[in-house]
Copies of this chain bind each other. A is one copy, B any other.
Amino acid sequence: MIVELVSTGTELLLGQIVNTNAPYLAARLNELGFSVLYQTTVGDNRDRMKSVLQSAIERADIVITSGGLGPTQGDITKEVTASLFNKSMYLHEESVRRIKRFFDERRLCMTDNNLRQAMMPEGALIVENTCGTAPGVITEDQASGKIIINLPGPPHELAAMTETSIVPYLQEKFGIQGAIVSKVLRTYGLGESALEERIKEYILSQSNPTLALLAKNGEIHVRITSRAADEEQALQLIHDLESQIRPLLQEYIFGTGEETLEASAGALLLNRNFSIALAESCTGGLVSSRITDIPGSSRYLTGSIVCYSNTVKIDQVGVAAETIADKGAVSPETAKEMALGIKNKFQSDIGLGITGIAGPDGATPDKPVGLVYIAVAGPGGVVCHEHYFNGTRTNIKHRTALAALNHLRHYLTGI
């Protein structure tokens, strides 16, 4: 089956936003065995959208649109789809109720233009939007057997709808044979080329499963994808290759799939029944925030102090004034006292202390922007790590957060 992706929205034509929906859908559809041969982007213009959908439906079996399901005058994708299949539009009462409920739950009043989102092509399948107001639509043309699927533009709405409704629909409709299964090994601490060197022979000799390296926000993801008659066999293929690769990457692998560094560290804390407290200077609370992105993190995070000023480092965290005077606020000694101080102050098992120069200001001849000290204190004693990061202020904060979570992880696995 040939699929064409049609992304709509003048903001795409103006280059105001990057299109992440198309690669997401393309990757997902390829996993299912569909061939995505064309991707087209068109603005919120009736005639041009219609001609684009026209040629798309001629060269593809399935056309999936994203965007243009919203409440505004510019949202015309459903109307154009309906007109292409000579279907009229009607007000879908259940969608009206859902949209009204959406606003009620948020204590918001609904403006009438929101009802546009409940107008549907005659005879179409309506797909619930669990993350927003605009439902998705699946319209099948009996005559040609072609299908147009309208999805909302916001990436999280589109992804949720794809996973919960569209993928099952396609599998059911086209009785997809066999299974394509992927597993991602998430690594931190090795560069892409260094990692590639370690598993080069497997990358060069790959067939089924296939291996792909993906650099992502300071992590490197190793993606293993296998095809087999059924899921069990596909998983077995992945398991076999994974067991050969893991020894080569060892401690650099911190998780699989969607598991983040904070999830991995959190699981270790739970597993050892340890609580943690943080004293953050240059990261300004970012590491605590990432730790609390994990549901149930209240079971191990006691709390944190963002000690931006030296006064707070001294009065609230318990760093000795002399240490800051003699060694400086950005020093291994201060980082260690921050880790120990917060641990004692909050009566936690583990203390994490982070101090550094995020820039652009604050550098000295011997302490450049990007110099960061990360200390971990706990039953295993107190250890401190020095880093030299580069990039913008937010880059440095991000890199520091990853490093801190990874040091925490190693500290916990080491005791």
Q: Please list the residues of chain A having a beta carbon within 8 angstroms of any beta carbon in chain B.
A: 10-20, 22-28, 30, 36-43, 45, 48, 51-52, 55, 59, 70-73, 105-108, 111, 113-114, 131, 154, 156, 191-194, 196-197, 203-204, 212-216, 223, 278, 280, 282-289, 291-293, 295-298, 301-309, 311-312, 316, 345-346, 358-361, 388-391, 393-395, 397
Query: Which of A213, A215, A285, A307 has the most C-beta atoms of chain B within 10 angstroms of its own C-beta?
Result: A285
> For residue A213, which residues in chain B have a CB less than 8 angstroms away from its CB?
72
Contacts of A105 in B (CB 8 A): 388, 390
Contacting pair A197 B113 (CB below 8 A): yes
CA distance A37 to B257 in the complex (A): 37
- For A114, the chain B residues whose CB sits under 8 A away are 193
Q: CB distance A289 to B71 under 8 Å?
A: no
Are A30 and B48 also in contact (CB < 8 A) when A285-B306, A303-B316, A304-B305 are? no
Q: Which of B12, B196, B292 contacts A113 (CB 8 A)?
A: B196
20 contacts between A and B (CB under 8 A): A13-B26, A13-B30, A14-B26, A15-B23, A16-B212, A18-B19, A19-B19, A70-B192, A113-B197, A156-B391, A284-B293, A284-B297, A285-B288, A285-B289, A292-B358, A293-B393, A303-B309, A303-B316, A304-B304, A305-B316
Assess whether A288 is in contact with B306, with CB atoms less than 8 Å apart. Answer: yes
Cβ-defined contact, B39 with A12, below 8 A: yes
Number of copies: 2
Q: Of all chain B residues, which has the CB nearest A197? A: B111
Instruction: Say which residue of B14, B107, B191 sits within 8 Å of A30 (CB atoms).
Output: B14
Partner of A346, one of B23, B291, B312, B388: B312
| B contact residues around A22 at 8 Å (CB) | 15, 19, 41
A305 touches B305 (CB 8 A): yes
Least Cβ distance of A390 to chain B in Å? 6
* Among candidates B72, B106, B204, B212, residue contacting A388 with C-beta atoms closer than 8 Å: B106
Q: Does the CB pair B214–A17 fall under 8 Å?
A: yes
**Cα separation A309 to B22 with both chains bound (whole Å):** 42
Which 10 A-B pairs rank lowest in CB-CB distance, beginning with the nearest?
A: A284-B292, A285-B285, A15-B27, A15-B26, A285-B288, A39-B41, A303-B312, A15-B23, A304-B306, A286-B289
- Whether A194 and B15, one on each chain, are in contact in the complex, defined by CB atoms closer than 8 angstroms, is no
Contact A359 B295 (CB under 8 A): yes
How long is the Cα–Cα vector from A280 to B278 in the complex, in angstroms? 14
CB distance from A220 to the nearest CB of B (A): 11
| CB <8 Å contact, A292 and B306 | yes
B111 with A193: CB separation less than 8 A: yes
Q: Are B292 and A285 in contact, CB atoms less than 8 angstroms apart?
A: yes
Min CB–CB distance A55 → chain B (angstroms): 7
- Nearest-neighbour CB distance to chain B for A191, whole angstroms, equals 7
Among B13, B282, B308, the residue within 8 A (CB) of A303 is B308
Provide the residues of chain B in CB contact with A283, threshold 8 Å: 289, 292
Which residues of B have CB within 8 Å of A361?
Answer: 295-296
Chain B residues positioned under 8 Å from A45 (CB to CB): 37
- Contacts of A391 on B, CB cut-off 8 Å? 131, 156
Please name the residue on chain B nearest to A117 by beta carbon: B193
Contacts of A285 in B (CB 8 A): 280, 284-289, 292, 304, 306
Q: Please measure, in the bound complex, the distance between the C-alpha atom of A36 and the C-alpha atom of B41, giving whole angstroms.
A: 10
CA of A70 to CA of B191, assembled, Å: 12
Q: Is the CB of A306 within 8 A of B309?
A: no
Q: Bound state CA distance, A301 and B309, in angstroms? A: 8
Contact between A40 and B40, CB atoms less than 8 A apart: yes
B-side contacts of A70, CB under 8 Å: 192-193
